[in-house]
Amino acid sequence: MAVEALPRSPRANPFARIGATLLDVLQVLGEAASLFMASVRSISAAPADRHRFVVQMVRVGTDTLWIGALLSLFVGMVLVVQAAEQVRDVTQEILGPIVGLAMTKELGPVLMAFLLAGRAGSAMAAELGSMTVYDEINALRTMDIDPVRFLVVPRFLAATIALPILILYADFIGVWGGAAVVALDPAITIPVNTYFDRMLEWVHFSDFVVGMSKGAIFGMIASIVPCAFGLRTRGGTEGIATSTTAAVVWSFILILVFDFLIVRVTFALG
Amino acid sequence: MVESAERRRGVGVELRGLRKTYNGQGVLRGVDLVVEPGELLAIVGQSGTGKSVLLRQIIGLEQADAGQITVGGIALDRYRATPHDEKSFRVAMVFQNAALLGSLTVDENIGLRLREHGRQSTAEITAIIHRVLEQVELAGTEAKLPSELSGGMRKRVAIARALAIDPELILYDEPTADLDPLLTEQIGHLIQRIRDARGTTQIVVTHNLPLAGAIADRIAVLAEGRIAECLTPAELPHARHPLTRAFLRASALQA
């Protein structure tokens, strides 16, 4: 018996798959950019929504404060141990600048942004995804309440303001984690005073400004991307899980892409 | 009991040649329907035939591919574009799963639209919330979260949320889905009382034909993307369309 060949699904064609993926990526970026613009336009209404903003600030804080402290402490400690081994034959006096500059300019902002995207961002995507799937967003629309103003702007502002503060906090704890290793590890021969003195010679106020500016931008990404994924959720519980995962992955990717761009532009500008 | 507030006529709804296609498949294929002011119309049909899509078009959550929707004599697009404060009438929708905001209490859910847009004082809003909760027989639940309520209670809170803005048109999407017969009867009576006391126009989408026959002024049967026939409850036993007859047979079996 002759078997009739089934028509080949366009998705089976590798070029079609690449094209579809590319279109998906562009659509996600477009939706996130459009949501960002809509949020910025709605910020003027924020004073009336300060209660929701405060609630989101508290959520972001409670989601990230303790685990952020733990993360920063151990990152500061491991930086000293790793760097001490590498500079053993040169001088351990540069341990302070290494930890200080790494924490303020790079590790503090990126780690805290990842933490915010992973904890608070995933919660935002899941919450908005659930609200989308169960018609709560549509219910808001039928009540002439703009979901962007009501739901996205408080989260966007909370993350954008909270992340720079969390980065300062992470920098402080990371530096003290490094200091603890300097004080207690017998393999490290410099005194803690030298660690701090050298750090203060090298780390300037502008380094904190760069780190905190990055934090504000990463905060926007870590809130807008999850909110965009939450609002485009389709298909019940499975859809919420898929959106949440995708929101975290895309937040991580965009944070690193913007990190590179900011560093490149900052260096180019001297 | 619904308070006998000043009885007002609801607004009429007119659909002309409404079409909607999803993924190349026509769900609505030219729906023509007129709902009179103050009428309680039930739309029945099989699952997946576009009943909910029809409601979403009427309230403007989805855009029709073709056709016209007029609510209260105004084209829907014009009504949607009118600023909230300048709208001459209000439309509310009760969603299938109630769609209460999970993070807000019953009080906050019901008062949400009033607090966001209304010009009423806090005391006035509290009084409205108290009144509509009494109407749906849920007084005393103001501080509860939706997760603390049963399915039937959530539906009634959703109806209270709709009533809070004193709308001229209420759309119900499967208001008795997943409810037992007693709760179904309770919701049905509530919808009837709203019509009797307020004269609000109400469109109820359901696949529960006995409920539709018990509460509605007219029943529109949606089949193959069109209104196949429109009957009063008295005409129901003499329905001609095969789907309506099949629904009647199935309902008789369930009874």
Q: What is the pLDDT of residues A117-173, one digit of tens each?
A: 999 999 999 999 999 999 999 999 999 999 999 999 999 999 999 999 999 999 999
pLDDT at A101 over 90: yes
Residue A135 sits at the chain B interface (C-beta within 8 Å) = yes
Q: What is the C-alpha to C-alpha distance for residues B119 and B249, in angstroms, rounded to an integer?
A: 51
Mean pLDDT of B55-77: 94
Total length of chain B = 255
The pair of structure tokens assigned to A160 is 């954008």
HSE (CB half, 13 Å, CA atoms) of B153? 13
Q: How far is CA B26 from CA A234, B19, B159, in A?
A: 21, 7, 31
The pair of structure tokens assigned to B66 is 């073709």
Mean pLDDT, chain B, rounded, equals: 90
**pLDDT value of residue A192:** 94
Q: What is the C-alpha to C-alpha distance for residues A250 and A29, in angstroms, rounded to an integer?
A: 9
CB atoms within 10 A of CB B132: 25
For testing the chain A interface, which of B76, B101, B205 should be mutated: the one with the most A CBs within 10 Å? B101
Looking at chain A, which residue has its C-alpha nearest residue B158?
A139
> Residue B122 is which amino acid?
T
**pLDDT value of residue B239:** 86
Q: Give the strands of the sheet with B91-94, arranged side by side.
A: B91-94, B169-173, B201-206, B40-44, B218-223, B226-231
**pLDDT value of residue A9:** 58
Task: Give the pLDDT band of residue A11 (cuts 50, 70, 90).
Answer: low
**pLDDT value of residue A89:** 81
Q: Which chain A residues are within 8 Å of B81, Cβ to Cβ?
A: none
B202 DSSP β-pair partners: B40, B170
Whole-structure pTM value: 0.87
pLDDT at A218 over 80: yes
**pLDDT value of residue B230:** 93
**A150: phi then psi, degrees, rounded to nearest 5:** -75, -40
Cβ neighbours of residue A269 under 8 Å, at least 6 residues apart? none
Between B7 and A124, residue with greater pLDDT: A124
B205 DSSP β-pair partners: B43, B173
Spatial contact of B189 and B155, defined as CB atoms under 8 Å apart: no
Nearest to A122 by CA among A233, A197, A212, A213: A233
**pLDDT value of residue A250:** 95
Looking at chain B, which residue has its C-alpha nearest residue A136?
B99
Q: Given an 8 Å threshold on Cβ–Cβ distance, is A135 in contact with B92?
A: no
Mean pLDDT of A47-51: 78
pLDDT at A247 over 90: yes
Q: What is the C-alpha to C-alpha distance for residues A60 and A56, in angstroms, rounded to an integer?
A: 6
pLDDT at A240 over 60: yes
Between B99 and B7, residue with greater pLDDT: B99
The pair of structure tokens assigned to A166 is 């969390």
pLDDT at B255 over 90: no
pLDDT at B55 over 90: yes
Mean pLDDT of B178-190: 89
Nearest to B57 by CA among B47, B43, B46: B43
Cβ neighbours of residue A166 under 8 Å, at least 6 residues apart? A60, A61, A64, A65, A68, A112, A116, A215
**pLDDT value of residue B246:** 87
3-state SS class at A8 = coil
**pLDDT value of residue B3:** 44
Cβ-Cβ contacts under 8 Å between A and B: the total is: 44
Mean pLDDT of B146-158: 94
pLDDT at B158 over 70: yes
Nearest to B193 by CA among B230, B163, B221: B163
Between A270 and A123, residue with greater pLDDT: A123
Cβ neighbours of residue A73 under 8 Å, at least 6 residues apart? A173, A174, A176, A177
Chain A residues 141-160 with CB within 8 Å of chain B: 141-145, 150
Looking at chain A, which residue has its C-alpha nearest residue B82?
A144
Task: Give the pLDDT band of residue A267 (cuts 50, 70, 90).
Answer: confident
| Closest Cβ–Cβ partner in A136, A142, A150 for B93 | A142
Pick the range with the lowest mean pLDDT from A189-203, A256-270, B71-85, B237-251: B237-251
CB atoms within 10 A of CB B226: 17
pLDDT at A245 over 50: yes
Alpha helices in chain A (DSSP H): 14-42, 50-86, 95-101, 108-116, 122-133, 136-142, 147, 153-184, 192-202, 205-231, 236-268
For testing the chain B interface, which of A42, A55, A136 should be mutated: the one with the most B CBs within 10 Å? A136
Between A217 and B248, residue with greater pLDDT: A217
Spatial contact of B48 and B223, defined as CB atoms under 8 Å apart: no
Q: What is the C-alpha to C-alpha distance for residues B186 and B214, in angstroms, rounded to an integer?
A: 12
The pair of structure tokens assigned to B200 is 């609000």
Q: Give B106-127 pLDDT, tens digit per residue.
A: 999 999 999 988 678 999 999 9
Map tokens 């499975």 to a residue: A238
> Concatenated DSSP letters for A58-119?
HHHHHHHHHHHHHHHHHHHHHHHHHHHHHTTTS-GGGHHHHHHHIIIIIIHHHHHHHHHIII
Task: Give the pLDDT band of residue A7 (cuts 50, 70, 90).
Answer: low
